[in-house]
Amino acid sequence: MMRTWSRRFGILFVVCDIVVARAFGQTTTTAPPPPVQTQSSPTLFGANFDLEGSSRDKGATVGAGSAPEDDTVPATTSSPEPGPPKRRGEFTFAPIPLINPSIGNGGGAGVLYTMRLAEHDASPPSSFGLAGFGTGSGSWGLGLGGRFYLKNDRYRILTGGGGGEFNYNFFGVGSAAGASGISIPLSQRSRAFLVEPKMRVFARWYLGPRYHLITNRISLGSHNLNPDDLPIPLPGDLKFQTAALGLRLQRDTSDSAFYPRRGSLLDLTADFFSPAVGAARTYRNLTVDYDKYLSLGDKSVFAIHGSVCTVTDEAPFFDICELGMTKDLRGYQTGQFRDHRMLVGQVEYRRELFWSVGVVAFAGAGAVGKTFNQFGDAEPGGGFGVRYTLAKRNHINLRVDYAWGDASHATYVSLGEAF
């Protein structure tokens, strides 16, 4: 579950993806319950508000917009308004319940404001967002950030930061550890900052540097447990700062930032962690994602997502590849299955019905392993969802999904499509 705390919290502004693992605390102020072996299917409720549009989780992407057809006249959305683009703004607000029968109840909310920065600029709408959550166990998170489009979409700038305290279950590393269902509670306090400018270098290709800094302080999440007598050893990276200077490369032909109907997004993220830029250790990670959108008439879309993740051995446990993020695979606690390599794929059928209501069906599978030759069993996932359009101009949906995996199921409430 913790690749996301590092990645999302470096990349993100999050009303957390509770399902994503950071599973939030109990209904009281006590720490999560003692470690147990899962005997029945846990039900998880989560929320995800991600301004980053990252390869890990596009979530409610703030203006991932379409790329230009050429170097002077960029495409904007699937339904452009006649005449010059207008600078009208649009607010989107979503209260999000956070309910977890294992480790807590709470609530969160996300606010997103979108507008064009210049009246005669054909860039996609720029966005600014604020999100937060709290639970009965004392877990909380707050983040803000923005994605800005300038000079007819020649420049794209992402920036943001956040922080919070999170209680979650740690299952260990490896496919076998996740399949055992045995976990220990951890509590993590994190702070993060990210900046990522990109420039259109050719046609629909965007390239630019990125820098993020994340501080983490982790402890055993229960005073009732003996640190020397745990079913899973405590990880060694309990006080750890990560910082990376990286590179982001995208080819974006999708026709919308928030509800693409056609086109594709190829997204490559490479991060290089080093003491020279503020990290406690030297390691590298690389993630390649591909999303494809096929229009099936005026009201139907078929979406495809695939992802490959690889991280070097020196990475801390919370920054390695992990299943469970909604863009990759729904129906699992994020971080239950984690290792240094990951392959995952997911498909989704989206159908608009009437008024502002729509439905979706999705299915996927993923696997983790120490190397690409040592993958464990593929974990399946699938489910159904309902959509309600909160912001019609940019087609921003409130998303409610029910998903099931192998001996687990989950419900997600969030702002924006899964990918």
Looking at the predicted structure, is the pLDDT value of residue 37 above 70? no
Indicate the pTM of the whole model. 0.76
- Mean pLDDT along residues 115-138: 84
Looking at the predicted structure, is the pLDDT value of residue 351 above 70? yes
Name which residue leads in pLDDT, 46 or 244: 244
Give φ, ψ of 160 to 5 degrees. 175, 175
- Mean pLDDT along residues 48-56: 39
Name which residue leads in pLDDT, 35 or 329: 329
- Alpha-carbon span 23 to 186, nearest angstrom: 10
Contacts of 244 (CB under 8 A, 6+ apart): 10, 210, 211, 212, 271, 272, 273, 274, 277, 279
SS3 276: helix
- Mean pLDDT along residues 240-244: 92
Q: How confident is the model at residue 64 (pLDDT cuts 50, 70, 90)?
A: very low
pLDDT number for residue 102:
47
- Alpha-carbon span 186 to 218, nearest angstrom: 7
pLDDT in tens, 181-240: 888 888 889 999 999 999 999 989 999 999 999 999 998 888 788 888 888 888 877 888
Distances (CA, A) of 313 to 318, 320, 369: 12, 9, 12
Amino acid in the structure at residue 107: G
Q: Out of 21-30, 40-49, 306-315, pick the least confident.
A: 21-30
Place of tokens 């229009």: 295
Considering only CA atoms, which of 114, 119, 118 is closest in space to residue 146? 114
Considering only CA atoms, which of 337, 46, 42 is closest in space to residue 166? 46
Looking at the predicted structure, is the pLDDT value of residue 56 above 60? no
pLDDT in tens, 388-402: 998 888 888 888 898
Amino acid in the structure at residue 388: Y
In this structure, what token pair is assigned to residue 231? 């079913």
Give φ, ψ of 330 to 5 degrees. -95, 155
- Alpha-carbon span 206 to 251, nearest angstrom: 6
pLDDT number for residue 86:
53
Range with top average pLDDT, 10-14, 36-40, 107-111: 107-111
Range with top average pLDDT, 29-33, 90-94, 303-307: 303-307
Strand partners, 361: 349, 384
pLDDT number for residue 19:
28
> Per DSSP, which regions of 279-417 are E strands?
283-295, 300-311, 321-322, 338-339, 341-352, 357-369, 379-391, 396-405, 408-415
- Alpha-carbon span 74 to 123, nearest angstrom: 7
Burial of 373: CB neighbours in 10 Å, binned 0-12, 13-18, 19+: exposed
Report DSSP state, residue 275.
G
> Residue 370: which H helix or E strand, with range?
none
Tell whether domain 3-415 is in CATH 1.10.760.10: no
Residue 379 and residue 365 in contact, taking contact as beta carbons nearer than 8 Å: yes
pLDDT in tens, 263-280: 999 999 999 999 999 999
- Alpha-carbon span 374 to 134, nearest angstrom: 39
Mean pLDDT of the chain: 78
Residue 381 and residue 404 in contact, taking contact as beta carbons nearer than 8 Å: yes
Residue 89 and residue 146 in contact, taking contact as beta carbons nearer than 8 Å: no
Residue 235 and residue 316 in contact, taking contact as beta carbons nearer than 8 Å: yes
Sign, Cα dihedral of 142, 327, 339, 333: positive
Contacts of 410 (CB under 8 A, 6+ apart): 19, 43, 44, 45, 46, 330, 331, 332, 333, 402, 403, 404
* Strand-pair category, 263-273 with 283-295: antiparallel
Looking at the predicted structure, is the pLDDT value of residue 119 above 60? yes
pLDDT number for residue 331:
85
Looking at the predicted structure, is the pLDDT value of residue 340 above 50? yes
Q: Out of 164-168, 170-174, 200-204, 409-413, pick the least confident.
A: 409-413
pLDDT number for residue 386:
95
pLDDT number for residue 87:
52
> Residue 11: which H helix or E strand, with range?
helix 3-11
Distances (CA, A) of 224 to 135, 194, 227, 278, 352: 21, 37, 9, 35, 50
Looking at the predicted structure, is the pLDDT value of residue 286 above 60? yes
- Residues 322-333 as b or e (16 or more Cβ within 10 Å = b): bbbbbbbbbbbb
DSSP 73-123: SB---SSPPSSSPP---EEEEEEEEEEETTTEEEEEEEEEEEE-SSTT--S
